[in-house]
Structures are given as C-alpha cells and as structure tokens.
Amino acid sequence: MTTIPTIELGIPKNKVRVPRIGFGTMSMPRVYGAVDDKESIKVLNHAIDIGCTFWDTANMYALGHTEKLLSHVLKERRNEVFLCTKFGVVTRKPEPGEAVSHHTDFITGFNGKPSYMRKCIKESLERLGVDYIDLYYLHFSDPDTPIEETIAAMAELVKEGKVHYLGLSNCSADELRRAHKAHPIAAVQVEYSAWCTDIETNGVLDACRELGIAVVAYSPLGHGLLIGKVRSHDSLSEDDWRRTHPRFKQENPDNNDKFISAIENMANKYNRKPGQLAIAWLLAQYDNLIAIPGTKQIKYLEENFAASQIKLSDEDLNKLRLLIDSANIQGNRT
C-alpha cells in the first residue's frame, strides 16, 4: 500500500498529521467555467477515499454555496476530513437575476472585527453542517482593525471548541509575527507555485520557517497555467474567470509558453504530467508545506494527489530553480 506523505500541523502538545496534498474548493463553484454540484460531490467523496482529506474552503466562495456543497459530504464523513475555512471578506448580495460567476466580483471590503467574526463563524458552521472547524483563517487583514484584536477574538473560538487551530491567509510577515504573539498560528495560506514565488522574497516564508508555521499553498498549479493546457486566451470558456486574469490575457499565454514547455520536457523525463512536476517541486521547497490544488474531475484529483510520491533529483531541482528565477513570466499575479 502506498504511504501518503504527511506533516504535523499545529502547536506543541497539540499537533495533528495531515496529508501534504489537500483539496482546494475555490474552483468548485463557477470560477473556471461550468460545474455540476452532483459531480463535485462525487469528487469530494473520492478525495476522502484516496486519502486527500485536508479540505480548504471559505465563506466567500460562491457566496456561501461552496460551504453548503461540502455539507452534503460532511454530514456522513465529518470525522474523515480536516476542515479549513476562512472569514474576513465582506461581500454584497447578488442583484435579482445576477449570475454568480466569481466571488471577487462581489467583494466590498474587509472586516476583522470580533462581532463580524462571530457572525461569520456561526454562518459557516450552519452552512457546513458541522459543530467545529479544524483550521479557521482570517482571509485578509482588515486595515481598520488591529490584527491582535482579531486574533484574540478568534482565540476565544478555540477555547469554546468551535475551532481547533488558527491561521492567516494573504498576510505580510509583520502581520504574521504580530498575530503569532497574540495566539499561536498553525498555518499561513498564500499563493505559491513555480508561477508565483513572492512568498520567497517578501519575508513570509522566512517567518514561517523561523516560527515553525506551516505554509498552505493555494493555486499550486498557477490557476491551471502549469498543467500546460491553457495555450491561448481563446481556449478559456466565456464564463471562465481566468479570462480577466493578467497572466491569461490574449498576449501573455504565448509569452509564457517557453516556460511551460520547459516544465513539460522535465515532466516527460519522469513520465509524469507537468502539473505533477510543478507540485513535486513545490513540496520540495519547504518541509512544512501543504499544496491545495483544486479540480472538478476525479482524473485530475488523482493526478494531483499522486504528485506527493514524486522525488525530484537535486540536479533537476536546481535546474527548475534556475528556470523559475530566470523566467520572464508575463502579467501580474492578480
């Protein structure tokens, strides 16, 4: 039987082992095109079956629909899943007849106030159909609320048993250090991939190493760019959010093609898919890292999860590092 690579997440005297590859649910609503809830539920159940049990969601994904979607599986299999969700983003309600394509279209601000957190945790628990969250993140910092105040309020949820661990998402190194002083932070979620290495230069990865905090890498496949299937802007469906992303604009896929081709060539050497190679490279960057690729298909779920079994040679890791550092990726990250 294949051993699933894991890491210890948490704080001293209160740690839990979780798989190094989890499941990100941002793409389950209509973010990268059409999706069927029944198919999504099949994918979620299969994820548990193969051991992909570190699940990440947020109250803002599909304006709450994604949390409700997960509840269909959690009602029978809650004890098999390490469940993570987030709060802190304020969204407006859709206008009558307005389609919910991507949740970012509905963002109106950020709120880290204790009263808002209380409202959000209550709603998330109800939508998910559970009585506790394993890892609860502040999604984005609120510029009008000191992060110490937010974290102190979140720590009360730990005392009450509604939350087991606290995390930050999209934070700065300074915010992380300040938050960690207020209450131990178990994980930081940030975009990290061969396509986006900002965490390596902005101090966040250094702070995580120093403080012993796990990194949860979202978009480890560069929103699909690193799997090599998006070679032109026209290959994206009309309702695909990536059509508005700077790196997927008409002129940029062609500019990025050389970078992707180099990854494909190395993946062929290992008889693996480009996306698997990209995830394997990412896992090698920090021992305390979890990648959370998302997908709407069982085929890609299995491919992504199998990437944890790939061990790249030191020579190839160095080659990839040189490639990434020298690549002229076109378009801003967001």
Interval 201-250: pLDDT, tens: 999 999 999 999 999 999 999 988 898 766 555 555 555 554 555 555 55
**Which pLDDT does position 59 carry in this prediction?**
96
In this prediction the pTM is 0.90
CB-based burial of residue 100 (10 Å sphere; 0-12 exposed, 13-18 middle, 19+ buried)?
A: middle
CB-based burial of residue 270 (10 Å sphere; 0-12 exposed, 13-18 middle, 19+ buried)?
A: middle
Least trusted range by pLDDT, from 164-168, 229-233, 262-266: 229-233
Query: Sign of the C-alpha dihedral, residues 174, 175, 180, 181?
Result: positive
Place of tokens 């159940």: 45
Residue 140 predicted with pLDDT over 90: yes
Interval 89-123: pLDDT, tens: 999 987 787 766 666 778 889 999 999 999 999 99
Least trusted range by pLDDT, from 156-165, 227-236, 260-269: 227-236
Mean pLDDT for the chain overall: 90
Provide the edge-to-edge strand list for the sheet that holds 163-169: 23-24, 54-56, 82-87, 133-138, 163-169, 187-191, 214-218, 289-291
Which residue, among 25, 19, 7, has the nearest Cα to 293 in the 3D structure? 25
**Which pLDDT does position 333 carry in this prediction?**
53
Is the separation of the CB atoms in 194 and 263 below 8 Å?
Answer: yes
Active-site annotation, residues? 61
In CATH, what number does 13-326 get? 3.20.20.100
